[in-house]
């Protein structure tokens, strides 16, 4: 697995591609904000170009140190294209609320997002791939990997793991109430925020699960959002 370099504690330097120009006050380049957003989410969107055609793939991801990882089938067109390394745009977005202003122009959403740019590469080493998949399992359900059936060599070959170093990165965040124009504040229109949250429901056992197998403690350790 990737070990976090000493520079990982530093903030990200804005670049021509990551510097926020419109509503620049929402831009964040500190590592704490970026990693907190990444660690709160589970689904990313990865943009890339194949033969001049842009694509965006939604997939599960996880972070380890100064890298993010995602995986998929070795038969995937996108993942086959990545074998030589390819430029990608990696994004994560979390919706926190509907911002209802007195005007349509100022109505918005509260959100947290991260965009990372760079060259994604295959995790080709077997041990590194296995360690990455173990980390993904522990991200979802801490401790569950130890009780699972180990993946077979065929399953490992059928699974491709991709990694991207966090180097050129920016977070963008909106919080708080509506930002109406002062002359609109007396309009007879309700304004405020409707919070939005992703929550975990009660675990549902597989219908064919033996009744002798109790719900594991790690189900209570799953976090999201």
Q: Is 169 exposed, middle or buried (0-12, 13-18, 19+ CB in 10 A)?
A: buried
Residue 158 banded pLDDT, cuts 50, 70, 90: confident
DSSP 8-state class, residue 217: G
Q: What is the pLDDT of residue 165?
A: 96
pLDDT score of 183? 97
The half-sphere exposure of 33 on its side-chain side, counting CA atoms within 13 A, is 18
Give residue limits of the domains in the chain.
6-94+111-173
pTM of the predicted model, to two decimals?
A: 0.88
Among 20-24, 102-106, 194-198, the minimum mean pLDDT is found in: 20-24
pLDDT at residue 144 tops 90: yes
C-alpha distances out from residue 187 to 102, 128, 148, 183, Å: 7, 60, 59, 8
Output the average pLDDT for the chain.
90
pLDDT score recorded for residue 8: 44
* Contact (CB, 8 A) for 29 and 52: no
Scored b (16 or more CB within 10 A) or e, 31-65 reads bebbbebbeebbebebebeeeeeeeebebebbbbe
Cβ-proximal residues to 142 (8 Å cutoff; 6+ apart), any chain:
218, 221
- Give pLDDT tens digits for 83-118: 668 899 999 999 999 999 999 999 999 999 999 999
CA 176 to chain centre: 23
Give the whole-angstrom CA distance, residue 26 versus residue 179.
14
CATH class entry, domain 6-94+111-173: mainly beta
H-assigned helices in 104-185: 126-140, 153-158
Rounded mean pLDDT, 2-26: 74
How does pLDDT run across 165-186, given as a tens digit for each residue? 999 999 999 999 999 999 999 9
CA-based nearest residue to 86, from 64, 57, 125, 66: 57
153: which 2 tokens? Answer: 């060599």
């Amino acid at each position: 697995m990737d070990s976090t370099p000493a520079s990982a504690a530093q903030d990200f330097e804005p670049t021509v591609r990551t510097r926020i120009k419109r509503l620049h006050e929402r831009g964040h380049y500190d590592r704490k904000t970026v990693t907190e957003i990444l660690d709160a989410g589970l689904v990313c969107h990865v943009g890339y170009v194949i033969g001049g055609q842009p694509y965006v793939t939604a997939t599960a991801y996880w972070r380890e140190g100064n890298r993010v990882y995602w995986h998929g089938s070795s038969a995937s067109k996108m993942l086959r294209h990545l074998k030589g390394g390819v430029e990608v745009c990696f994004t994560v977005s979390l919706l926190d609320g509907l911002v209802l202003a007195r005007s349509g122009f100022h109505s918005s959403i509260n959100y947290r997002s991260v965009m990372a740019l760079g060259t994604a590469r295959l995790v080709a080493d077997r041990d590194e791939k296995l360690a990455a998949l173990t980390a993904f399992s522990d991200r979802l359900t801490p401790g569950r990997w130890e009780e699972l059936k180990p993946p077979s060599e065929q399953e490992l070959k059928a699974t491709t793991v991709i990694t991207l170093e966090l180097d050129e990165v920016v977070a963008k965040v909106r919080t708080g109430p509506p930002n109406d124009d002062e002359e609109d504040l007396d309009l007879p229109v309700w304004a405020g925020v409707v919070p939005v949250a992703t929550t975990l429901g009660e675990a549902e056992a597989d219908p064919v699960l033996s009744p002798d197998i109790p719900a594991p403690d790690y189900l209570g350790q799953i976090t999201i959002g």
